[in-house]
Amino acid sequence: MTKPHGVSEQTGTTMATETVASESSLLQVRIAITTFFALGGFVFAGWAVRIPAIKEQTAASASGLGLALLAMSGAAVVTMLGTGKLCERFGSRRVTIATSLLLSISVLLPALADSTVKLGVVLLVFGCAYGGIDVAINSVAVDLIAAIRRPIMASLHAANSIGSLAGAGLGALVAPYLLPSWHLLLLVPIGLAVTVVAGRMLLAHPLSRPTNSRDIAESSVKPVPRLRAGASTSVILFGLIGLCAAYAQGGMDNWAPLHIVEDLDGGAGVAAAGYAVVQLTIAAGRLSGTVLVERVGQTRVMVFGGLVACLGTLLAAWAPSLGLVFIGLAATGLGLSNIFPAAIAGAGALGGPHGVAIASTLGYGGIMLAPPSIGFVADAFGLPSGLTIIAALAAVAMVVAYTVRHETQRLATA
């Protein structure tokens, strides 16, 4: 009797040790994933805050810059479509590391362009890297969520906004003193070093998906819903909300710094600070998004978020002073912060992965549409008029969110 008892105690100790090790591994993976999300935002912000200087460097018109940005967005979307297969073949973790390395190097390329055409060409490379890491790191995040059985995607995406804030803050500090080439060159070793450290951490702790029906059933909080009859229209409407939100955020990222420089005579540091305000408020909104939805409901989050974003964008576009513009930018960021996540959640609750795919495709379509459409309007009527399109789409998101309120309420009580 003594020997079996001793074996039992030893087995229990071993199991406890394995559990601790497992929890430690999951924590390491979460840290690595969060780091990659933050790095993506950090590097992209470094490019975004130097758009005004690079526009001047390449002598690009507003419409020309819009087309170059469209090339970047188009490359990102095309790359997203193919990255899934790369992840299946080589593994999401390896693709994450590879695309992060490419992103860290290619961020320097726009600063080396001396014409609009060359800018569009190098932005193709940068867009491919950004689109690739977006899909790859989200795939790793899905594996982590399945492993820990907690819905932490919102906090991971908040890390992207925090990284953007850090990148914009660095830009605000160095933009008055450094040319874009030196500023973006500074990002290269930072990005490479972070990729190496986080990549080693990610590879050291592989995650496994459930492989049989019992594991799948135990790892799922809710079964994946089927797209019921009549629900496809609501999925598309949720996707339209996502399109409006993505268009608005993409438009603010690309054009708000330029508006500050060209229309309000703000310097490069002030323009970077404007970008940082938007990213800070988006990050703050997303960090509190789960609690907000639980307290006031998904419909109110989208409706009032659209209203606040609409009014904030109008203030940012037409206010005559920088102080009011910054208030408008802050309101826009807060309003937009949770609209896109809520729209994706609604589409996913109705249609599962198929619903998410529809809403995500429409959302990225909004990102593609923003740069050229705002650029053409800015050339014809001025940048404030171009930014007004963002306000209009925020209003559309608000109206559509109210239209699907009954579907949203049904999902909340299901």
Q: Which CATH class is domain 222-414?
A: mainly alpha
The Cα 341–Cα 343 span in angstroms is: 5
275, 256 Cβ separation under 8 angstroms: yes
Task: Label residue 354 by pLDDT band (50, 70, 90).
Answer: low
Q: Are 22-216 and 222-414 the same fold in CATH?
A: yes
52: Cα separation from own chain's centroid: 22
Is pTM, for the whole model, over 0.85? Answer: no
Confidence of residue 413 (pLDDT cuts 50, 70, 90): low
Residue 262: enclosing H or E segment and its boundaries? helix 231-264
Domain boundary assignment for the chain: 22-216, 222-414
Q: Work out the average pLDDT over 350-379.
A: 75
**Half-sphere exposure for 343 (CA within 13 Å, toward CB):** 33
Q: Helix (H, G, I), strand (E, B), or coil: what is residue 284?
A: helix
Question: How many Cβ atoms are within 10 Å of 249's Cβ, its own excluded?
Answer: 26
Q: Among the listed ranges 17-21, 170-174, 212-216, which one has the minimum average pLDDT value?
A: 212-216
- pLDDT higher than threshold 90 for residue 52: no
The pLDDT of residue 384 is above 80: yes
What's the rounded mean pLDDT across residues 87-92? 84
Q: For residue 302, what are the CA distances in angstroms to 18, 176, 332, 346, 404?
A: 43, 38, 13, 11, 11
| More confident: 214 or 34 | 34
- The whole-number pLDDT of residue 231 equals 58
What is the total residue count of the chain?
A: 414
Q: What is the pLDDT of residues 184-223, one digit of tens each?
A: 999 999 999 999 999 999 998 877 544 333 333 333 334 4
> Which amino acid makes up residue 395?
A
**Long-range contacts from 380-386, C-beta under 8 angstroms, 24+ separation:** 382/263, 383/62, 383/255, 383/258, 383/259, 383/262, 383/263, 383/317, 384/259, 384/263, 384/317, 384/318, 385/317, 386/62, 386/255
Average pLDDT, the chain: 82
| Bigger pLDDT: 226 vs 42 | 42
Amino acid at 340: F
* Geometric angle at alpha carbon 44, from 188 and 322, rounded to 5°: 120
Tokens describing residue 344: 């994706």
pLDDT single digits (tens) 268-295: 788 888 888 988 898 888 888 777 877 8
Integer Cα distance of 412 and 414 in angstroms:
6
CA–CA gap between residue 271 and residue 50 (Å, rounded): 9
CATH: 3.30.70.2970, 2.40.50.140, 3.40.50.20, 1.20.1250.20. Which one for 22-216?
1.20.1250.20
CB atoms within 10 A of CB 361: 15
Model confidence at 139: pLDDT above 80: no
Mean pLDDT of 152-180: 84
User: Average of pLDDT values for 229-237?
Assistant: 73
Residue 392 clears pLDDT 60, i.e. is over it: yes
